[in-house]
């Protein structure tokens, strides 16, 4: 089954304790992205990647890191989480190139609470 997976689905942590949210897709998509969803703000892009070893900042990159060492994986790293990073996080992927619809496929979401 074609899908985007994220782990963990739920995470409660304390301020300053480094954490990683994993994201993996099995559709051989070049493009991957992380979003955070907050009430009244919709989804905002954190980071994105056009291909292996190619990443760039989105609208709200502060406090986050990413890496893309393999095409299928795109982990999100919070080196020193703070309460304002409490949010719902989504990973997404899509193909690139001519003839594609640029639809993004989303993972199930990760609910992060930082106390």
Partner 1 sequence: AQTVTQSQPEMSVQEAETVTLSCTYDTSESDYYLFWYKQPPSRQMILVIRQEAYKQQNATENRFSVNFQKAAKSFSLKISDSQLGDAAMYFCAYRGTSYGKLTFGQGTILTVHP
Residues contributing to the site for partner 1 (CB under 8 A): 31, 33, 35, 40-45, 48, 50, 56, 58-59, 88, 90, 92, 96, 101-104, 106, 108-109, 111
Cβ closer to partner 1: 73 or 104?
A: 104
Alpha-carbon gap, residue 85 to 88, rounded angstroms: 9
Q: How far is the CB of 16 from partner 1 (least distance, A)?
A: 27
Which pairs count as long-range contacts for 56-65, CB under 8 Å and 24+ apart, including other chains?
58/33, 58/34, 60/36, 64/34
Name which of 62, 89, 72, 66 is nearest 7 in CA terms.
89
DSSP 8-state class, residue 41? T
Q: How far is the CB of 51 from partner 1 (least distance, A)?
A: 11
Alpha-carbon gap, residue 72 to 31, rounded angstroms: 10
Q: How far is the CB of 83 from partner 1 (least distance, A)?
A: 21
Cβ closer to partner 1: 69 or 97?
A: 97
Cβ closer to partner 1: 61 or 63?
A: 61
């Amino acid at each position: 089954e074609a899908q985007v997976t994220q782990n963990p689905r739920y995470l409660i942590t304390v301020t300053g304790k480094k954490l990683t949210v994993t994201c993996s897709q099995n559709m051989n998509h070049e493009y991957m992205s992380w979003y955070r969803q907050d009430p009244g703000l919709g989804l905002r892009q954190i980071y994105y990647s056009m291909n292996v070893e190619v990443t760039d900042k989105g609208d709200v990159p502060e406090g986050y890191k990413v890496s893309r060492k393999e095409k299928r994986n795109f982990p999100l790293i919070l080196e020193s989480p703070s309460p304002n990073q409490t949010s719902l996080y989504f990973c997404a992927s899509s193909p690139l190139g001519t003839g594609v619809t640029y639809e993004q496929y989303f993972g199930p979401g990760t609910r992060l609470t930082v106390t």
